[in-house]
Amino acid sequence: MIRILTVCLGNICRSPAAEAAIRRASQEAGLEVEVDSAGTGRYHLGEPPHPRSVAAAARTGLEVRGAARQITRNDFERHDLILAMDRHNLEDLLAMAPDEDTRAKIRMFRSFDPGADGPDVPDPYYGDDDDYRRMIEIILPAAEGVVLHLTGDQPPR
């Protein structure tokens, strides 16, 4: 069983959608994974995913659920792969990681998409529906790439 954690700032827009996308892609590939998500920040603790994120994901058949929480020390130990949505999240995660072993589990989520046009899943929080649609378009191939990496079909960049 591989344990994956997706991480953004608020844990209401990007990381819950990425969690759902990885869960679906792994199920389709017959890969046993446990996927969860968390935020580096504490702004929205306990809140459900953002309605625009839920709606944009639902258009592609993804069900985004959960309650926002902040990453814990236990998350760093429990998960095999910790996926940062953007470079701010990466920096924060590297600073929060308790030791070298846990730091080694942290990657940029889009590094698993060979067709990515940039390193970040841009923060859509102050954006409109189009920004959330774009967010899902970015997340889907990255999630596929994560699963291809785990099944050994695609090396990470």
Three-state DSSP class for residue 4:
strand
Among 12, 33, 62, 116, interactor with ligand 4NP by CB under 6 A? 12
Tell me which residues in 24-53 interact with ligand 4NP (CB under 6 A). Answer: 43-44
Q: If you write DSSP's letter for every residue of 76-98 in order, what string do you get?
A: HHH-SEEEESSHHHHHHHHHH-S
Contact of 64 with 54, CB cutoff 8 Å: yes
> CB-based contacts of 157: which residues, under 8 Å, 6+ apart?
111, 112, 114
Please answer whether residues 20 and 28 qualify as being in contact, where contact means their C-beta atoms are separated by less than 8 angstroms: no
Residue 13 C-beta: closest distance to ligand 4NP, Å: 3
Residues 111-150: x where in contact with ligand 4NP by CB under 6 A, - otherwise, as a string: ------------x-x-------------------------
User: What one-character DSSP code corresponds to residue 107?
Assistant: E
Residue 149 has a CB neighbour count (10 Å cut-off) of 17
Active-site hit among 36, 75, 86, 123: 123
9 binds ligand 4NP (CB under 6 A): yes
Q: Which residue is nearest to ligand 4NP (CB)?
A: 10
User: Which entry of 13, 14, 92, 107 is annotated as an active-site residue?
Assistant: 14
Tokens of 138: 């970015």
Using CB under 6 A, which residues numbered 48 to 87 contact ligand 4NP? none
The answer to whether 14 is a known catalytic residue is yes
Stretch that binds ligand 4NP, among 6-14, 27-35, 59-67, 93-101 (CB under 6 A): 6-14
